[in-house]
Structures are given as C-alpha cells and as structure tokens.
Amino acid sequence: MVGKWHLGFCNWKYTPTYRGFDTFFGYYNGAEDYYTHMRDAGGTGFDFRFNTSIYHDGDRVYSAMLLADRAEEIIRSHDQSTPLFLYLPFQSVHAPLEVPKRFENMYSHIQTKDRRIYCGMVSALDEAFANVTQALEDTGIDKNMLLIFTTDNGGPTYKGANNWPLRGAKTTTWQGGTRASAFVYSKNLLSKTGYTNNEMIHAVDWFPTILELADIKEEGGIDGVSQLQTITGGAASRRTEFVYNIDEVNNISAIRYGDFKLIKGGAGDYNGWYPPPKLDGSTPDLPIADDTKIPEYMLFNVKEDPTEHNDLSEKDPENLQRLKQRLEYWMKSLVPAQNPPSDPKSNPKNFGGNWSPGWC
C-alpha cells in the first residue's frame, strides 16, 4: 500500500501491515502538510511511515511525487511470476491546498486563489499518476492488469472544488457530495470499452469485484456485490439500493432505492448549486445552508432529476413511505456510532513528536 490510510492507528493491529498489506509507505491521518508531512489535530506531529518505521527521507518532497515514486519502485521491482495488488490512495486532491508553483502557474488566469491552487493540484496529480502508468507500460504489467481509478467523495466547493451541476459539496449527502467519478482500464480484460457506465455501483462493491477478478471465493457477510461483469462488459448492475450514510451524531440519513433517494434530517452545510468560476476567473461566494428551510424528509428521483431540484416528498407519498421503510430496515442492523472525545494519550508529544500507535 502507498498513500493515505485514515482507518485508525491507535493500536498497531489497526495499521496497514497488520491488516493484510505486505508493505506500507504513507501516512495514518486524514490530511497533513504536502511537504513537511506534519499534522495538527489536537497536537502537532510528523506522520509518514515506511512499514512501521518513521520515514524522513521524503521531507520537503511534494506528496503526489513522493507517493508516485514509491509506486514506480514497487512496479519496476515486482516479480511478474506472482500477482500484484497495489492500493495507491494519493493525498491529492485534499486540504491543505498546496502545490508546486509551476502547476499553479498553469492557471494564472483564475483570480480566486483557492481555485487556482486546486486546479494546479489536479494537474500535479495527473503528472504523478502518468509516471505510475508509464512504469506499468514499461514493465509490461499493463498487458494483464485491471486499473481502477476512483474518488471517495465529491469536491469541497468551499475549498476550490466544483461539483456543478450537482447539488451540494463534500460532507453532505447531496449528489454533489456523494456521486463520485471513476474509470477502469485494461488492455485485455474489458469486452466493452470507450463508453460511460451509469449503472449503480457503490464503493463497497470494489472489494468483491476484485475478489472475483482474482478468482478468490467470496465469504459471506460483506456489504458489497461483485460488479465485475458490469465494469468489464456493461452488464446490468446487481445492486438496486444502498445507504449513503446514517449519521446518529448529526441526525442525518440518506438512502438510495431504485431510482429514488430519501434524505432525512437535512443533508449538510451546503445545500445549493455552485456554478463554475465566472469568465473573469472569480468564484461566487458560497452561502452556508439554512437548515430551517429543509423539511424532515426529502425525496428525489435522481435518475430523472440528478441535480436534486424537485423534492417529491409531498407529491409522491407512496414512494416516500416505501423508502422510509427501507431506511428503518437498514437502521435495524446499524452498529452504534463511536464518537469519543479526543484522547490526550494520542498527542504526538508522547511519541517523540510523531503520530503513532500505542495509546489504546
């Protein structure tokens, strides 16, 4: 594994090399400085590891290039008589907004600083990933490979991103915060190529999809379904519904059932539609949501109305009731949220100035 972990590290047993990965090169937290690899979150500390060891050789090296270099090294040294699974979650594009000046200068016509840097970060990621795909091509691994490129959420419109024409932003359950882009590439594993697949696929489906590709028997009890036939040949998705989120802390829930989407308790802080920058490169101000204007339940047909303009909760009581029942069904299997306060034992000052396991 190369890149961002962000799945817990209070104990070594929760870290990558104890969770199935042979090697790890990256950081544990959800964000950090792209150059110094420092993280300030209830304490300030360094956060970069090679397997379980603190790694300082990448200090002052921009994250996207540092991670790409390690991925290239793995690819070029790989024994091709054995299979390779490489998980490469880049830090880009994520706050804090930082990028080498040569990439920011590519967008000098954009007046809004955050947007200018954000666009530069996308181009830096593009170059870093191009270096990785070049290594795959040089070694011939690309001749028998499935490449999956995806994101984890919509863009933060309050930090230079843009999800237009979708509604909302990262941290919301609107389509702008949850409808993610992805593509797959293979030289010989795809029977249908060069088209847009609009089938229903959820992030949890990648795991069983990869298992089927590797001819590994799937054990029961997981949430995902294999979408291998969908992404390789355009077959209809096996999925008909999914949970966006059930947030007990903020009392926000959203589910998808068929073509319909139910939102309960509001969708988050950014409720609007935020257009791209103006012709002069400036970006309009983004108003924070006024939750008093949001009803308890909202219902949308996101196939016919992907931009979520038309709330059907009063016009379609039959589907509203049907999705309420599905939400109640999913809530029965909900694992109670654990949202404890920050633990002072995690402070990096207790670990030589480093974010480290060993405090739970």
Write the pLDDT tens digit of every residue in 54-102. Answer: 999 999 999 999 999 999 999 999 999 999 999 999 999 999 999 999 9
The pLDDT assigned to 271 comes to: 87
3-state secondary structure of 245: strand
3-state secondary structure of 204: helix
The pLDDT assigned to 220 comes to: 80
* More confidently predicted of 301 and 279: 301
The pLDDT assigned to 310 comes to: 96
Peptide bond between residue 165 and the one before it cis (omega within 30 degrees of 0): yes
CA dist 258 and 239 (Å) reads 9
For the chain, report the end-to-end CA distance as a whole number of angstroms: 24
CA dist 174 and 159 (Å) reads 17
Helix (H) or strand (E) holding 305: none
CA dist 34 and 92 (Å) reads 9
CA dist 257 and 326 (Å) reads 8
The pLDDT assigned to 329 comes to: 97
- What is the pLDDT averaged over residues 39-50? 94
What are residue 241's DSSP bridge partners?
257
The pLDDT assigned to 35 comes to: 98
Instruction: Output the pTM of the full model.
Output: 0.93
Peptide bond between residue 100 and the one before it cis (omega within 30 degrees of 0): no
What's the alpha-carbon Rg for the chain, to the nearest Å?
22
CA dist 67 and 74 (Å) reads 11
The pLDDT assigned to 338 comes to: 83
The pLDDT assigned to 41 comes to: 87
In contact, 342 and 42? CB cutoff 8 Å: yes
The pLDDT assigned to 289 comes to: 59
3-state secondary structure of 25: strand
Q: For the ranges 157-161, 239-243, 284-288, which has the lowest average pLDDT? A: 284-288
The pLDDT assigned to 278 comes to: 72
- Location of structure tokens 């309420």: 324
Exposed (0-12), middle (13-18) or buried (19+): which is 219, by Cβ within 10 Å? exposed
CA dist 39 and 60 (Å) reads 14
What are residue 264's DSSP bridge partners?
253, 297
The pLDDT assigned to 171 comes to: 92
Q: If pLDDT is split at 50, 70 and 90, which confidence band does 114 have?
A: very high
CA dist 268 and 173 (Å) reads 7
Helix (H) or strand (E) holding 251: none
- Location of structure tokens 């990096």: 348
Residue 337 has pLDDT above 70, yes or no: yes
Peptide bond between residue 132 and the one before it cis (omega within 30 degrees of 0): no
Q: Give residue 197's identity as a one-letter amino acid code.
A: N
The pLDDT assigned to 3 comes to: 99
- Location of structure tokens 């974010």: 355
Q: What are phi and psi of 229, to 5 degrees?
A: -70, -30
Name which of 199, 302, 210, 186 is nearest 254 in CA terms. Answer: 302
Residue 291 has pLDDT above 70, yes or no: no
Q: What are phi and psi of 23, to 5 degrees?
A: -140, 160
CA dist 260 and 322 (Å) reads 10
User: What is the chain's mean pLDDT, rounded?
Assistant: 93
